[in-house]
């Protein structure tokens, strides 16, 4: 027992555990100040319209450039930011920065595209999202119909009536709503039907399961993806697939009528600067044979 070891009780902890909790403490201390110190940046991943092969929009993804630890993944620091109660500050910064960047592309005369911003369930619950959105749009001058919010199923499950009101308010402004990582949560179909939303994003784990290791279509994997696309269309929603890595996956999704795709096949997330070269060109050459 730790107590019996007396002064040496720290030996109970493996070096890996120590490193982990040390890392967490280090991160907590600096995450609180990361916004004001300008340590976050956004990268952008293209969404492609399957009918035209052109960019239809981009998703903004946050990156934390920690002075000592280097780039920290949002998968690591977003949950931490939620625990610490700083997610809404980060979320507001992301929203404003994304709107500013999108307006900048428009001002450069590039074909106007939509920008999608991820909103955490906690941020959705603890702030008045329509107010924050309205301020960001007003201050940056981005027209509302160029903004899309990506929410997870968790959002749909909490206090449904209130959520419906907030989503209606956002859509009345002209903002689009999509449900991210669709199929990985536990949202019920009866709730889904009531939600004023625009699109379902098929989670990348399902896209990954369409084909097996020998590149053969798997019966269940393919069926799940087709079913989600049909569900979206039956509810008059768009279907967007994320995590598309191979031409075969893109071709499959296209054959099932998926509206938009996103993934490493088309482009990794890139800087705002690097995105410029992806406007105005056919982004689906392999998939259209
Ligand atoms: P997400 O919103 O589902 O974003 C998609 C994630 O999949 C991104 O990871 C993206 O880089 C990655 N990805 C895109 N295409 C491919 C592909 O073809 N293959 C594979 N294996 N991965 C692909 P990232 O940027 O690390 O973000 C992870 C998650 O962190 C996001 O999942 C989102 O839930 C969250 N996140 C990112 N940025 C924000 C943000 O600004 N606010 C909030 N609240 N959450 C964010
Ligand atoms: Mg997303
Ligand atoms: Mg997603
Ligand atoms: Mg996902």
- Rounded Cα gap, residues 243 and 249, in angstroms: 10
Which alpha helices (DSSP H) does 235-284 contain, by range?
247-255, 272-275
Return the pLDDT at 16: 67
Return the pLDDT at 195: 94
In DSSP notation, 71-100 reads EE-HHHHHHHHHHHT-HHHHHHHHHHHHHH
| Residue ID of nearest Cα to ligand 1 atom 44 | 120
Which of these, 94, 81, 93, 87, lies nearest to 27 by C-alpha position? 81
How many angstroms separate the alpha carbon of residue 48 from the centre of ligand 3? 15
- Rounded Cα gap, residues 143 and 138, in angstroms: 8
* Mutation probe of ligand 1 site: the residue of 40, 81, 118 with most atoms within 8 A of C-beta: 118
Q: Is the ipTM of this complex over 0.85?
A: yes
pLDDT, tens digit, 9 for 90 and up, residues 232-255: 999 999 999 999 999 999 999 999
Answer yes or no: is pLDDT of 207 > 50: yes
> 198 and 167 in contact (C-beta within 8 Å)?
no
Q: Which residues line ligand 1 (CB under 6 A)?
A: 45, 61-62, 73-75, 78, 91, 94, 118-120, 150, 180-181, 204, 242-245, 263-264, 269
Greatest Cα-to-Cα distance within the chain, rounded to the nearest angstrom: 71
Name which residue leads in pLDDT, 10 or 92: 92
- Rounded Cα gap, residues 174 and 172, in angstroms: 5
Length of the chain in terms of residues written: 289
User: Mean per-residue pLDDT for 211-231?
Assistant: 96
Answer yes or no: is pLDDT of 2 > 70: no
* Mutation probe of ligand 1 site: the residue of 61, 84, 155 with most atoms within 8 A of C-beta: 61
């Amino acid at each position: 027992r730790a107590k019996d070891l007396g002064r040496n009780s720290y030996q109970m902890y493996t070096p890996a555990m120590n490193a982990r909790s040390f890392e967490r403490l280090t991160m907590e201390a600096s995450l609180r100040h990361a916004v004001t110190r300008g340590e976050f940046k956004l990268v952008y991943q293209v969404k492609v319209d399957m009918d035209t092969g052109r960019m239809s929009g981009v998703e903004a993804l946050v990156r934390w450039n920690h002075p000592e630890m280097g780039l920290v993944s949002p998968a690591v620091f977003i949950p931490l930011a939620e625990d610490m109660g700083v997610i809404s500050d980060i979320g507001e910064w992301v929203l404003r920065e994304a709107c500013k960047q999108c307006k900048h592309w428009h001002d450069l005369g590039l074909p106007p595209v939509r920008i999608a911003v991820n909103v955490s369930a906690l941020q959705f619950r603890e702030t008045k999202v329509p107010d924050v959105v309205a301020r960001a749009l007003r201050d940056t001058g981005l027209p509302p119909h160029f903004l899309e919010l990506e929410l997870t199923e968790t959002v749909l499950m909490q206090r449904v009536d209130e959520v419906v009101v907030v989503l209606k308010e956002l859509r009345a402004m002209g903002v689009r709503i999509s449900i991210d990582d669709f199929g990985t949560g536990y949202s019920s179909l009866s709730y889904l039907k009531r939600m004023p939303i625009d699109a379902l994003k098929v989670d990348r784990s399902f896209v990954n399961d369409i084909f097996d290791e020998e590149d053969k279509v798997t019966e269940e994997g393919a069926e799940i993806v087709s079913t989600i696309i049909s569900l979206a269309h039956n509810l008059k929603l768009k279907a967007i697939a994320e995590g598309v890595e191979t031409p075969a996956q893109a071709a499959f999704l296209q054959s099932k009528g998926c509206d938009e795709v996103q993934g490493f096949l088309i482009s990794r997330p890139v800087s705002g600067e690097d995105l410029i070269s992806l406007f105005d060109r056919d982004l689906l050459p392999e998939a259209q044979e």
